[in-house]
Structure 1
Amino acid sequence: MAADPHAEAAAPAPLSVTEADGCATLRFTGELTADTALDLEQKLLDPCLSQARAWVLDLTGLAHMDLNCAYALLRAAVRLPRTTTVQVRGARRNVQRTLRHTGFDALASID
């Protein structure tokens, strides 16, 4: 079956990653919606990220996160070694609420 020429490709997730001294800082901007979920999940599966001792999720620039993307973050955090710490910084109230809805706050500290 031929691919639909009118189908849109998945949008790239608005994520940048920096690593220093075993800490991975993941900066999110804009909106994380269903059309970015696949790209987000693929980026979070990067083997370098799983080797970090700490993840800092900088959500200062993130206006909205839907449940698909929150669950993608949760799945990535569950795959991390138990010794890896996860911290959420700068999340707006609506984003914090979405993360808590998935149970992400059981794996991470949310500031």
Structure 2
Amino acid sequence: MTLDPHRSTQNAPVWIAEAGGHHAVLAFAGTLDSHALQVLEELVMDPRLREPTDWTLEMSGLENIDLASAYALMRAVTRAPEPVSLTVRGARPAVHRVLRQAGLDTVVTYAE
């Protein structure tokens, strides 16, 4: 999988790397915390994510995520009009721990 190196927002911690058909890839980098929460919440409402029902969260570049951001991901997945299959790829142990605290383990598959 090749991720789009051209982010739609300069220095954004999360961006849509690919979206088409039934699959979308959201890529993460740096720190996703309260300062970036609005960016995340706006991104998951992006029209390019309406059709895809299979999302991959590429988190190999994500160093840290706070609980509020993890909950925002959980809300996005559970409130989607169509059921969304979610795969997390490359999450560091600390990121994985926060995702688990937010309850994402109930709706996510982890891949290396």
TM range (shorter): 0.7 to 0.9
Query: Where has structure 1 moved over 6 Å in runs of 4 or more?
Result: none
Distance in 2 between residues matched to 1:44 and 1:53, nearest whole Å: 12
CA, structure 1 residues 31+75, in 2 after alignment: closer, same or farther (shift >3 Å)? same
Matches within 5 A, 1:91-106: 91-106=91-106
Percent identical: 36
State the secondary structure of the residue aligned to 1:110: strand
Larger CA deviation: 93-102 vs 45-54: 45-54
RMSD: 1.4
Q: Which residue matches 2:14?
A: 15
Count of residue pairs brought into register by the alignment: 99
In the aligned structure 2, how far is the partner of 1:47 from the partner of 1:79? Answer: 15
Separation in 1, partners of 2:20, 2:51: 12
Q: State the Cα deviation string for residues 16-73 of structure 1 (Å, max 9, x = none).
A: 2111342100000000011111121111111321310210000000000001110111
Matched letter for residue 72 of structure 1: A
Aligned to 1:48: 48
- Whole-angstrom CA distance in 2 between matches of 1:96 and 1:72: 15
Maintained 8 Å contact 1:13/1:40: no
Q: 1:68-107 alignment to 2 at 5 Å?
A: 68-80=68-80, 81-82=82-83, 84-107=84-107
**Structure 2, unaligned stretches of length 5 or more?**
1-10
Structure 2 contact 13–28 (Cα < 8 Å) conserved: yes
State the partner residue of 1:5. none
Question: Quick one: distance in 2 between partners of 1:49 and 1:74?
Answer: 15
Identify, as 1 or 2, the structure richer in helix: 1
Shifted more, 12-21 versus 73-82: the winner is: 12-21
Structure 1: which 5+ residue stretches go unaligned? Answer: 1-11
